[in-house]
Amino acid sequence: MIRVLALAFLLLATSAFAQYPAKAIRLVSPFPPGGSVDVVGRLLAAKVSETLGQQVVVENRSGASGVIGTEVVLNAPPDGYTLLINTIPFVSNQFLMPRAPYDPLRDFVSISLVASAPSFVTVHPSLPARSIPELIALAKAKPGQLYYSAAGVGTNPHIAGELFNLLAGVNIIAVQFKGGGPADTALIAGDVGVTFGNVSQEIGHVKAGRMRALAVTSAKRISAMPELPTVAEAGVPGYEFDTWFVVVAPKGTPRPIVDTLNAHIRKGLTTPEQVKFYEDRGLTVIASTPEEAATYLESEQKKWGRVIKERGIKAE
């Protein structure tokens, strides 16, 4: 009898996995619209919706440097219908917050490392700086009087900005906003003079002349704007900052569902057309396996824990 029940349960579970997804999937972006996580999430959702045959709907649940949206997914049923797309704060928050409510490795299962992208160092068009050396000179001439917008404590623009301060020997003051979109809006409005936003979210603003890009934060120039130097070659040796985007699910999500999602991400993003589509937006497609994503998250957790401690990056 026990064997019959076990077999019946196995058949039911197999049938459920075979029918997945049977309804729309929620992809939670823990930052507001307009930021890089939102941009990449929507690009990904559109393509995966096509290949899965079900809608993947991006839901912005922002606040507390990504913690609020991350908690939404942490507490969701592990059934494959609520996923999270996140970036560096996913692994760095625990080093900046006294009681981060989750462990990125213990409480989630990795699905795929989707893509990576550097940031721009951008300034308001009215700022008298057209190069990194000119920005550094201006900051040194006006210590504590120049401000940059960030997307929240410990977010990508904040870490990129503080690394710039430390390596360039300047003190550009961080002003925190509730996401990358609002941080960009503040620069465009002239409320701050500088920001360190992701290429994917700012390239349209730069090309439209709403902000001026001085350099890219990657180790190499990018094909989307090859005329821009890197920060390192422009005068800050050793500076390098790249952002990544990962999709994860709550711990306990069945492996067949993880594999289905991973297969559709890889199918949707690795065609030559999609690779070029992402490159034109300053993004590099990765579309990793679940194991590669998990290993990468572990290495990034160690890296940013060390950097935050060594560089003295503070929550406030």
pLDDT tens digits, one per residue of 217-232: 999 999 999 999 999 9
Pick the CATH number of 120-216 from 3.30.70.20, 3.40.190.10, 1.10.8.100, 3.10.20.740: 3.40.190.10
The total of other beta-carbon atoms located within 10 Å of residue 103's CB is 13
Say how far residue 3 (Cα) sits from the centre of its chain: 47
pLDDT of 13: 45
Mean pLDDT of the chain: 92
Per-residue pLDDT, 27: 98
Rounded Cα gap, residues 180 and 305, in angstroms: 22
Q: Specify the pTM.
A: 0.86
Please report the pLDDT score of residue 310 as a whole number.
Answer: 77
What is the C-alpha separation between 199 and 186, in angstroms, rounded? Answer: 17
Given this model, what pLDDT does residue 12 score? 46
Strands (E), the chain: 25-29, 56-60, 82-86, 108-118, 120-123, 147-150, 173-176, 194-195, 212-216, 242-250, 284-285
Give the per-residue pLDDT at 154: 87
Distance of alpha carbon 220 from alpha carbon 223, whole angstroms: 10
Which of 225, 223, 191 lies closest to 206 in space, CA to CA? 225
- In the chain, what are the domain boundaries? 13-117+242-311, 120-216
Tokens of 261: 């999602």
Q: Is 256's pLDDT higher than 80?
A: yes
Greater confidence (121 vs 4) lies with 121
Matching CATH topology for 13-117+242-311 and 120-216?
yes
At residue 308, the pLDDT reads: 84
| Residue 138 pLDDT | 98
Query: Above 50 in pLDDT, residue 193?
Result: yes
CATH number of 13-117+242-311: 3.40.190.150
Q: Which of 27-36, 56-65, 240-249, 305-314 has the lowest mean pLDDT?
A: 305-314
Cα(first)–Cα(last) distance of the chain, in Å? 62
Span 274-300, pLDDT tens digits: 999 999 999 999 999 999 999 999 999
Q: Which residues contact 259 (CB under 8 A, 6 or more apart)?
A: 290
Higher per-residue pLDDT: 111 or 15:
111
pLDDT digits (tens, 9 = 90+) for 4-49: 444 444 444 444 567 899 999 999 999 999 889 999 999 999 999 9
Alpha-carbon span 13 to 2, nearest angstrom = 16
How far is 220 from 231, CA to CA, in rounded Å? 9
Contact 246, 297 (CB under 8 A): yes
The per-residue pLDDT for 2 is 58
- Is the pLDDT at 53 greater than 80, yes or no? yes
Instruction: State the pLDDT at residue 8.
Output: 46
